[in-house]
Structure 1
Amino acid sequence: MIKHPRWLALLICSLLLFTAGCGNVQKEASNEGEQSPAGSPAQQSDVTLMLDWTANTNHTGLYAARDLGYYEEEGLNVSIVQPGAGGTDAMVAAGQAEFGVSYQESVTLARTQDVPLVSIAAVIQHNTSGFAAPVDRNMKTAADFEGKKYGGWGSPVEEAVMKSMMDQEGADVSKVQMINLGDADYFTAVKRDIDFAWIFYAWTGIEAELRGEPLDMIYVKDYSEALDYYTPVLVTSEDLIAQQPELVKAFMRATAKGYQYAIDQPEAAAALLSKAVPELDQELVLASQKWLSPKYQDDAARWGEQKAEVWKGYADWMFERELLDKQIEADQAFTNDFLP
């Protein structure tokens, strides 16, 4: 299941590990990442790509790039791995993984802690997350959160987002009962403990459709442009960009091809992901892929494109609500320079 990331708690733990001695241990640059004059790789470079969560259709383009040989064509031997105990962001910042899957929320917080993460592509162009409830709870707008039980992971951002939405409708967030569910299954929780939760529609929403358990979905982006942030994103470290820019370019050329494949051929891409990760429900993967494929690029000029106003808008929103200790330089948090 794609679960909305418990990004704040996990990132704070990761940052503590990073600043306490995980260290900025960037792998030494070697001639493995050098390119021949013709632009073809001199030899294979081993690259670690760390996911944010268990594999799902947010990641299809990455598996496509690996299994269709796009990374190999660029001279990259890419290993796709699950998140480490220290968290993906900290591992990437410390050079223990060259690339990772993260979120604009967590990159923004990391930048305030001087953790040198940089977003190099938006996986999905618009925010597909929101608050979801079974239709029998009759929750059509944010005002309907009043008097209901919300199941989350105990992050300050949850209440801040909820409050900003409810304020627009004259509703009171203090009338929402907050329940910390951790990693509990959404479908079990709404039958037993809660009325609504924060989900990504592309997975949990599609699963609800397949189960015949329809949802009311209230997308956060519909309430504020600032909440239409990039989630997820691909990240790397400032050190890797400085030391091995050609490796980053090669990775992004192949990755962009992988996501283009997922955009153009959702059924084949779904089959590829199911083969790579056989424990996933094949029916869910296919339905999710069909829903998500048009949303990777959406209205952007190219897949992965990021806008400064999106980064600044969300950082300002977080700062105004005291979710950040200081402002960030938004144009340092992301780059489009490595997109083909």
Structure 2
Amino acid sequence: MKHTMISAVLGVMLSAVPAFAEMTDIRFTLGWKTQGSDAPFLVALNKGYFEEEGLNVTIDQGEGSAATITRIMGGAYDAGFGDINAIIQNAAARPGEAPVMVFQMWNRPPFAIAVSKESGITKPKDLEGLTLGGAQGTPTTRLFPVFARLNDIDIDTVAYESLAPNLQEPMLIRGDIDGAYTFTVSSWFNLIANRKDPAKDFTWLNYEDYGMDLYSNGMMVSRALLTENPDAVAGLVRAVTKATMEITKDQDVAVEAIVAFDNLVDPELERARLEFALTKLMNHSETAETGIGGLVEARLARSIDLIVEGYGLEATPAASEIFDGSFLPPVAERTLDVALN
């Protein structure tokens, strides 16, 4: 009897081995430290949506949206959350090697110049003769010459002060600089942390409002994963789509997943950051046609031209090299039935 029971147990264990062996390991990098805007990935992890797709996903914190691309291109990660504009830069320099965006999450860019309301600055032309500060290499900083051209700003009159990212909001508050090149979803909450009201105390000159209709962050995958395991890519996209649609209706689920991943975060702060991402970055009117995760190829092509100009790239990648929407579920499954406002 004992022998039979042991055999039965071993049989069950052995029969389970193939199921575990079929799981695909995916190394995933976030764009920065744990934030509310990461909720789609953390919900997919916390609620087992990745596992349902046969994926064993390990998520690590990031070092910046652009660093996501270098991490993936270097082979340390298979997928991640980062900026599509960084993909464009790398695709121009190393065609066929840069990651590919498969789920466009932020259809609106978080690039803006923040100025104090007390300054009286209300439009781009008002920036002439002032000093703007920000970190080198960020899209807002690097793309300012294009912003200036489109808005008839005499760029030679605008001084630039290079700053560490953690200094730009304090220096803006003190008046050490007249304006800051910001990544809104970060700077907005840095100002709150400095006991300022970003809506009442500051004016935001958003690039998208002044001729720079760019895309921004989303989920990208390595060329290797795309080529060697397209089923895994499809599983990633399905899981993230499911989680994204869920959090648009229920932010409590998102906060629970964020805290489960990193219990050092401020839950209410990250809830607010998630709401900012939902209402300021993910609510472009085009998603009524493209669905969450999709984009308009003609618009992407125009944004590629802006990036080529702004970064002085020697080649212009085709939109098909940057984004692959073939893994997305049908639009009907990605259409919001709640208002993001």
Distance (whole Å) between structure 2 residues aligned to residue 75 and residue 238 of structure 1: 20
Distance (whole Å) between structure 2 residues aligned to residue 241 and residue 100 of structure 1: 13
Could you tell me which residue of structure 1 aligns to residue 282 of structure 2?
296
Could you tell me which residue of structure 1 aligns to residue 90 of structure 2?
110
Distance (whole Å) between structure 1 residues aligned to residue 154 and residue 34 of structure 2: 37
Could you tell me which residue of structure 1 aligns to residue 25 of structure 2?
46
DSSP-derived class of the 1:165 partner: helix
Of 200, 203, 219 in structure 1, the residue corresponding to residue 183 of structure 2 is 200
CA offset digits 1:74-96 (Å, max 9, x no partner): 12121111237993212312432
Distance (whole Å) between structure 1 residues aligned to residue 143 and residue 90 of structure 2: 19
Could you tell me which residue of structure 1 aligns to residue 5 of structure 2?
none
Deviates more, 1:158-167 or 1:283-292: 158-167
- Please report how far the alpha carbon of residue 71 of structure 1 lies from its aligned counterpart in structure 2 after TM superposition: 0.9
- Larger Rg computed on CA atoms: 2
- Please report how far the alpha carbon of residue 57 of structure 1 lies from its aligned counterpart in structure 2 after TM superposition: 2.5
Letter of the aligned partner of 1:276 in structure 2? F
Q: Which sections of structure 1, spanning at least 5 residues, go unmatched? A: 1-35
DSSP-derived class of the 2:248 partner: helix
Distance (whole Å) between structure 1 residues aligned to residue 222 and residue 108 of structure 2: 24
The TM-score, its normalising length taken from structure 1, stands at 0.79
Shift of the 271–43 alpha-carbon distance from structure 1 to 2, 3 Å rule, reads same
CA offset digits 1:277-319 (Å, max 9, x no partner): 2332333212222232244354313211022223211221233
Structure 2 residue 220 is matched with structure 1 residue 235: yes
Structure 2 residue 106 is matched with structure 1 residue 124: yes
Distance (whole Å) between structure 1 residues aligned to residue 49 and residue 283 of structure 2: 19
CA contact (8 A) 2:114 2:205 kept: yes
CA contact (8 A) 2:93 2:315 kept: no
Could you tell me which residue of structure 2 aligns to residue 10 of structure 1?
none
DSSP-derived class of the 1:264 partner: coil
DSSP-derived class of the 1:127 partner: coil
Distance (whole Å) between structure 2 residues aligned to residue 189 and residue 124 of structure 1: 28
Distance (whole Å) between structure 1 residues aligned to residue 227 and residue 319 of structure 2: 19
Distance (whole Å) between structure 2 residues aligned to residue 313 and residue 126 of structure 1: 14
CA contact (8 A) 1:208 1:215 kept: no
Letter of the aligned partner of 2:299 in structure 1? V
Deviates more, 1:112-121 or 1:76-85: 76-85
Could you tell me which residue of structure 2 aligns to residue 164 of structure 1?
146
- Please report how far the alpha carbon of residue 152 of structure 1 lies from its aligned counterpart in structure 2 after TM superposition: 1.6
- Please report how far the alpha carbon of residue 159 of structure 1 lies from its aligned counterpart in structure 2 after TM superposition: 5.6
CA contact (8 A) 2:87 2:98 kept: no
Q: For 1:1-340, list aligned pairs within 5 A.
A: 43-83=22-62, 87-114=67-94, 115-155=97-137, 158=140, 161-192=143-174, 193-206=176-189, 208=191, 211-213=195-197, 214-224=201-211, 227-294=212-279, 295-296=281-282, 298-299=284-285, 300=287, 301-321=290-310, 323-340=312-329
CA contact (8 A) 2:22 2:54 kept: yes
Letter of the aligned partner of 2:128 in structure 1? E
Shift of the 117–50 alpha-carbon distance from structure 1 to 2, 3 Å rule, reads same
CA contact (8 A) 1:157 1:323 kept: no
> Aligned residues, how many?
300
Distance (whole Å) between structure 1 residues aligned to residue 313 and residue 167 of structure 2: 30
Distance (whole Å) between structure 1 residues aligned to residue 20 and residue 49 of structure 2: 13
- Please report how far the alpha carbon of residue 66 of structure 1 lies from its aligned counterpart in structure 2 after TM superposition: 0.5
CA contact (8 A) 2:31 2:63 kept: no
Q: Which sections of structure 2, spanning at least 5 residues, go unmatched? A: 1-17, 330-341
Shift of the 209–77 alpha-carbon distance from structure 1 to 2, 3 Å rule, reads same
Could you tell me which residue of structure 2 aligns to residue 8 of structure 1?
none
CA RMSD of superposed structures (Å): 2.7
CA offset digits 1:210-242 (Å, max 9, x no partner): 734321011101111xx2222112111222111
CA contact (8 A) 1:104 1:229 kept: no
DSSP-derived class of the 2:273 partner: helix
DSSP-derived class of the 2:236 partner: helix
DSSP-derived class of the 1:132 partner: strand
DSSP-derived class of the 1:189 partner: helix
- Please report how far the alpha carbon of residue 50 of structure 1 lies from its aligned counterpart in structure 2 after TM superposition: 0.8
Distance (whole Å) between structure 1 residues aligned to residue 83 and residue 145 of structure 2: 21
Shift of the 281–139 alpha-carbon distance from structure 1 to 2, 3 Å rule, reads farther
